[in-house]
Chains A and B, each alone.
Chain A
Amino acid sequence: MSGFLSNLGLLRRMNWVMLAAIIGLIVTGVFFIYSATVMRDDSTADLYRKQILWALAGLVCYVATTLMDYRRLRDVAWGGYIMALILLVAVLFFGTRIYGAKRWLMFLGVGVQPSEIAKLAVILVGACLLSPAAEKFGRLPPMWTIFLLAGIPMLLVMKEPDLGSALVFLPVVTAMLFAAGSPIRPLVTLLAGGVLVVMLVLAAVALPERLGMTPEHQGAFFRTIKLSDYQRERIEVFLQPGKDPMGSGWNKRQSEIAVGSGGLTGKGFLKGTQNILGFLPRTVAPTDFIFSVISEETGFVGSGSVVLLYGVVMVCGLYAAMVACDKMGRVLCVGIVTMIFTHAFVNMAMTIGILPVVGIPLPLVSYGGTFMVITLFALGLIQSVYVRRP
């Protein structure tokens, strides 16, 4: 008990600026989830209240994690990893299908996305592997083991299918390896390889039509390379925004109009016409497209502030990495910050149309219960590292 009380003293060493930025993002999220659902008269109208409850639960988790010594996770990291793999397999069989993809597992009425758990599990296992407990080993494990560890859940997530979430693994693992001091050349080679793969996929989507293949041949081709219709569609829309104004391109176009018409100071809270009139599809406005709502109603002042808040979180997170008392702390912080950065960047970039619409939520802001808790748990780990700085 006295140990716990002495731990409480650690809270005074917390990075308050980071906490303030986090709370700022959460509060923004709650307000604009309200705005995005205010026109709905069904059960989703009280989404913002649920978000408040989830945020409170997440913040409790955050404090608890801060108090917990992250080094003790070494013992459970592998168990967590195996658990995440089991959930990822389970979701393929028992998952709830929403919009054509099985991404959710229902536990007692609460939906959980195993892919979110898997990301954290990979970061934990990676942090453990990249920081050998005994300095005597001294050497890092081979790079391929880390990529293999990330690759298995990544493929399972792709299978759901959830291309966007799967791709998040890549920058996370790369950043962790980089920070852990892996030799630069193989890493760059791998990175270049990854970029090449993405280019190939894009080319595969765009080329057959340009080369004049018949629709049947195109279909057969895409079945061979295992690219689902909806993935192809989204990539195509990204490549040719004007192609399908009322289909998949709709969200992207409307989101751009929402952000663009926000202007410098925005149209005012609850006055975003794109949002209120439902041009931003109401199903995704509080989740993946919450940033459009914020941008429309608060303008560049608001959207820029959100970007700034993420900047603050990145700086504080990586500062924690730099002052960490051991290598595990360093690598752990880099992994978590990279995960949150990747989510935030990809989400905001797709909102303004510079990346394809991949369905990645905006951390701390988008509506989503388990993702909120997991994000706060991960950020709590950063504080856990920070408060134990030398």
Chain B
Amino acid sequence: MLKKDNMPEAIHFELRRIRLVLAIMLGFLALLGGMLFDLQVRRSHEFEESLHRQSMRRIRLPAPRGMILDRHNIRLADNQPCYCLAFYLEEIRKPGKWKHTVAEVQQRIEALAPLIGRKPAITEDEIWTHIRRRLPLPLVAWRSLDQAALARLAEASVDMSGVDIYVEPNRAYPRNELAAHLLGYVGKADFTDDEMAGYQYYLPEMEGKMGLERKYNSLMSGEAGGRLIRIDASGYKHAEQMDKEPRAGANLVLALDSRIQELAEAAIRDVPGAVVVLDPGNGDVLALASSPTFNPNQFVPIVPKVLWDEFNRDPARPMLNKAVAEVYAPGSIFKPITALAALNSGLVSPGMSVNCPGYYMIGTKPMKCWNPNGHGHVDLRRGIEQSCNVYFATLGVKCGNDAISDMSVQFGLGSKTGLDIDREAPGLVPTAVWKKKTWHDDWRVGDTCNFSIGQGALSVTPLQMAVVAATLANGGTVYHPRLVLGMQDWKGNVLTNYPIVQVRQVSVPAAAMRAVREGMYDVVMAQTGTGGRARIPGVEMAGKTGTAEYGEKEDRKKHGWMILFAPYNKPRYAVAMVVDDAVSGGLTVGPRLRGLMMGIFGASDVEKEAGG
């Protein structure tokens, strides 16, 4: 054994060198430790960020869309589960190249197709697109499976690993065509970059494309939520967590009464036309129908091109809401306004008698009354009942066209009623100024005569005429037609109520209003009244018929009109109906309104009214 003192010098030398080697190594290890500290403690947050960026994805989750309900909470637009068959690619992935997985998916689809009873709905390209762009999401192979297909799938013995029935909310209109023009429809939402900011993926979402669905889209669609998914290195979903719960949209409660709406639609189902039923006491839109119509269910989730083209070619224009977006010459149903204008002017009294020889001379040119034999001597009541053109031309000329247009404007003609529906037409109330500007011509007596009997440039929408009917019914209060009563949350708690809005009080003497109403009473209730065909047992009603020519003169095409309110003493319903290609208002529209009113009052109601 060597003692330290007799150790050769060389060994001391070597030991010093070994210590140096150790020092160098420990120095390197210390350096490593320092680097680790820098990386893991000082700069850790940088790496956490990049980690988050590369492994977290946020999916936009649509909120349940609010329903549309009628005034009795009957569902007009609803969300129904749509069963989709989806593949979870992370469960059926094949090792190696993507094409193996794609081939596997295709094979699975082929195998499932006979069970579903439908051809494969997605192509190879779509699978590739899904892999490239939405890998962590389920791949939907078929949408809207029916019950039979679901049953076959449940019993089948095919490999269902990685396959799931996935439920997607689908907009449905349980009453099909009912109020289609008002409700509108929804379609696939187009996201703006702003809405998509912060989301990497989104689920199919619906947005209103027409009608109330569009107008109230933001309120009904609620607030989209988000779900965070963590993806693995190959891009498959690894885990998920809720980021933000979507907030359900609000339900829209309409003033509409679906029973009356149904009756209204039935009344004009076979002819192009429109009908509006208002509550004269508050302006509530109880029914608003346009014919022909469409079934919004056929438009969800996308409008089939064939159908769209067909609708666009149809001359009856089924997509057009004729009750608000189409204008017509009102014809004789305008006469009550002429009467009120004349009475209001003080130049005419209800008892004033006019002789009708069957024509009215405008200068040297005769204007025919609809009855070529003439009505003889008529007063206001009889003039309205018989709809005598000569009588109203006389009144018009007496009070002047300005008085008539002023009265028309007071009744809300010539401007939009402000119903919650897009594309409402304002119609037109002609004036001398307007004629000068548009036709570069002076206003003549003939214009006044035409105006007096609801012809000429005057144009109105059925909704406007329903407002007129309601105003006559309640004795002169113009209400804003209220289509939406309010909003409620998904539990049914009321969020907002839209108030009843009185637009104005028509300024006419009470006696004048009474006289016009009496004339309108006779139109329906008198034996000789032009609207007698609308009469129903037990309910006193008042109305006015009208017939207005349209199109080329040689075609002799006529719109049939009728406005009506009932019951006469305490009106609950004010109706306006127009029908294309009619014989006359009394003959064509009268019976249709009779059917509608019979339905509205119902058998028991009719008896009750009769009894009371």
Contact = CB atoms under 8 A, between A and B. Distances in A.
Interface of A: 175, 178-181, 256-257, 259-264, 273-274, 276-279, 281, 295, 299-300, 303-304, 307-308, 310-311, 314-315, 318, 321-322, 327, 330, 334, 337-338, 341, 345, 348-349, 352, 354, 390
24 contacts: A178-B20, A179-B17, A257-B47, A257-B54, A260-B39, A260-B40, A260-B47, A261-B51, A262-B40, A264-B41, A273-B51, A274-B51, A277-B55, A277-B231, A277-B233, A278-B234, A300-B40, A304-B33, A304-B37, A310-B29, A311-B29, A318-B21, A352-B36, A390-B2
Interface string B28-62: 11001101110111011011101100110000000
B304 to A, nearest CB: 42
B517 interface: no
A277 B47 contact: no
A274 B233 CA distance: 8
Best-surrounded residue of B2, B25, B41 (most CB of chain A within 10 A): B25
Contacts of B238: 276-277
Interface stretch (B8-16, B142-150, B246-254, B522-530): B8-16
B233 A278 contact: yes
Interface of B: 1-2, 10, 13-15, 17-22, 25-26, 28-29, 32-33, 35-37, 39-41, 43-44, 46-48, 50-51, 54-55, 230-234, 238
B18 A345 contact: no
Contact of B10 (A181, A260, A321, A345): A181
A352 B39 contact: yes
B232 A354 contact: no
Given A179-B18, A390-B1, A311 B48 contact: no
Contacts of B37: 300, 304
Contact of A279 (B20, B43, B55): B55
A259 B40 contact: yes
Given A181-B10, A315-B26, A341-B25, A321 B51 contact: no
The 6 A-B pairs of least Cβ separation, nearest first, read A260-B47, A278-B233, A300-B40, A277-B232, A261-B47, A318-B22
A295 B234 CA distance: 23
Contact of A303 (B18, B40, B43, B232): B40
A178 B17 contact: yes
Contacts of B10: 181
Contacts of A179: 14, 17-18, 21
Contacts of A277: 55, 230-233, 238
Contacts of A259: 36, 39-40, 47
Given A278-B234, A279-B54, A318-B21, A345 B40 contact: no
B44 A260 contact: yes
B49 to A, nearest CB: 9
Contacts of A299: 40
Contact of A175 (B21, B28, B41, B232): B21
Contacts of A276: 232, 238
A352 B232 contact: no
B26 A314 contact: yes
Given A181-B10, A279-B233, 8 more contacts: A257-B50, A259-B39, A264-B44, A277-B55, A304-B37, A322-B15, A337-B25, A390-B1
